[in-house]
Amino acid sequence: MERTCQAQLLVEACSRIEPVLIDPAAAAMTASQVGGREADRFGFQPLYDWVTRLEPDLFG
């Protein structure tokens, strides 16, 4: 997600093209299909484990 946001900001900063907004109904339908908080946590957990293994003092 971070890289996607960075790419979006770079495109907007370097061009005069107006962004195309996602239809709210399509965004809501996609959100309902992708999952909720548990799916987010499940996807984030391996990254968190990796970071804490590399940098054990980062959050302490």
Q: Provide DSSP, the chain.
A: -HHHHHHHHHHHHH--PPP-PPPHHHHHHHHHHH--HHHHHHHHHHHHHHHHHH-TTTT-
What's the angle, vertex CA 22, arms to CA 3 and CA 38, rounded to 5? 60
Domain boundaries, the chain: 22-60
pLDDT grade, residue 48 (50/70/90)? very high
pTM of structure: 0.43
Whether 30 shows a pLDDT value over 80: the answer reads yes
The type of residue at 54 is: L
Cα–Cα distances (Å) from 5 to 2, 10, 34, 46, 49, in that order, read 5, 9, 19, 21, 23
Whether 1 shows a pLDDT value over 90: the answer reads no
